[in-house]
């Protein structure tokens, strides 16, 4: 209390300063000491300051001080021209600060003006709120998805948000917009929208996936599996995703065994060393590689890869991040 009594008279002067650092420090001090007397001044600075950092700081302090009229403050922040200010306002959204109408307005702003990361964060926030507030909003977003008006980069977050409502009607509508089938079809939400840095962190450090134990990038890692140094220039995103969730579906030359039944009834098997639309080249017990024209093959069976289907080990979000990381290795 003594500290507060000494500092409070100086705050009005500090808030009038033109230097952003001083205004931000003064606002942070007010928040930490619970000084609410200058809240109207903070709102004024939020409206008038040309510094995005200052505007973001005013948002944070007003929230910390539990300003009584936060709805228009958050909406103002969400309409800011600066992405970082919008992100700060978005971080302040919770079930108690906004009415259903105000929440819907904020969501509309995010999906009209916001970046993909802002939209992903908005959907993660919606996943934590009561279904009574979010179901009408998500209903409209599913309609936009059906009309192909949303980025595929947010598909995973939209699925999670819809699941959080436990609405079978919404789940059914969303499912009708997705690919049907098993395997890859169940992971198409993980195709785009990942975080490249998080993917790199998973690849190099995760003790469950152990990617780096078998695969190397620029010489860092194991040699059990193929090098991934420039894999993003070789495989498409779809192929990278398939390599993670269905590793036996496509064999990397030199790392997988195939069994072939030929049209004349013969059976041959070996390590696939080369593959083209015209022929397969196998390494067998013979000295010379065996070249098999595709036209002679009646049936091909890829023997199981030593790599496990990573969908049983990794979350969809982790898979999406790793796909993003690998797709950028070129």
Complete edge-to-edge strand list for the sheet that includes strand 279-283: 290-293, 279-283, 267-275, 257-262, 297-302
The CB density around residue 213, as the number of other CB atoms within 10 Å, is 12
Radius of gyration (C-alpha) of the chain in whole angstroms: 28
Whether the per-residue pLDDT at 95 is higher than 70: the answer is no
pLDDT-above-90 percentage for the chain: 66
Q: Give per-residue pLDDT as tens, 217-254.
A: 999 998 878 889 999 999 999 999 999 999 888 777 76
Using DSSP, state whether 51 is helix, strand or coil: coil
Share the mean pLDDT of the chain. 90
Beta bridge partners of 221: 216
pLDDT digits (tens, 9 = 90+) for 263-292: 999 999 988 888 899 999 998 878 889 999
3-state secondary structure of 144: helix
What confidence category does residue 106 fall into, taking pLDDT thresholds of 50, 70 and 90?
A: confident
> Structure tokens of 21?
């650092």
pTM for this one? 0.72
Q: 153-210: per-residue pLDDT in tens?
A: 999 999 999 999 999 999 999 999 888 877 888 999 999 999 999 999 999 999 999 9
Domains of the chain, start order: 2-176 (1.25.10.10), 196-247+308-327 (1.10.760.10), 257-302 (2.30.30.100)
Q: Which is nearest to 315 in space by CA: 244, 246, 254, 266?
A: 244
């Amino acid at each position: 209390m003594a500290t507060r009594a000494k500092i409070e008279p100086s705050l009005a002067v500090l808030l009038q300063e033109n230097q952003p650092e001083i205004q931000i420090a003064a606002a942070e001090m007010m928040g930490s000491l619970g000084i609410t007397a200058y809240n109207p001044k903070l709102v004024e600075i939020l409206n008038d300051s040309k510094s995005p950092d200052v505007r973001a700081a005013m948002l944070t302090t007003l929230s910390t001080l539990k300003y009584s009229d936060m709805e228009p403050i958050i909406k103002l922040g969400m309409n800011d021209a600066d992405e970082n200010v919008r992100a700060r306002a978005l971080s302040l959204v919770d079930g108690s600060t906004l009415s259903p109408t105000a929440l819907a307005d904020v969501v509309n702003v995010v999906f009209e003006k916001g970046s993909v990361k802002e939209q992903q964060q908005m959907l993660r926030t919606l996943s934590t709120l009561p279904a009574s507030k979010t179901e009408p909003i998500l209903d409209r977003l599913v309609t936009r998805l059906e009309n192909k008006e949303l980025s595929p980069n947010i598909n995973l977050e939209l699925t999670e948000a819809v699941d959080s409502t436990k609405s079978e009607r919404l789940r059914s509508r969303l499912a009708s917009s997705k690919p049907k089938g098993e395997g890859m079809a169940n992971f198409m939400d993980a195709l785009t929208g990942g975080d490249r840095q998080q993917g790199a962190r998973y690849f190099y450090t995760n003790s469950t996936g152990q990617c780096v134990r078998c695969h190397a990038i620029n010489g860092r890692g194991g040699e059990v599996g193929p090098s991934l140094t420039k894999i993003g220039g070789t495989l498409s995103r779809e192929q990278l995703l398939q390599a993670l969730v269905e590793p036996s579906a496509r064999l990397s030359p030199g790392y997988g065994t195939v069994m072939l039944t030929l049209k004349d009834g013969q059976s041959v098997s070996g390590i696939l060393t080369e593959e083209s639309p015209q022929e397969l080249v196998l390494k067998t017990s013979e000295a010379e590689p065996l070249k098999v024209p595709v036209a002679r093959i009646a049936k091909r069976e890829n023997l199981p890869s030593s790599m496990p289907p990573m969908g049983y080990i990794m979350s969809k979000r982790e898979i999406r991040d790793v796909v993003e990381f690998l797709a950028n290795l070129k």
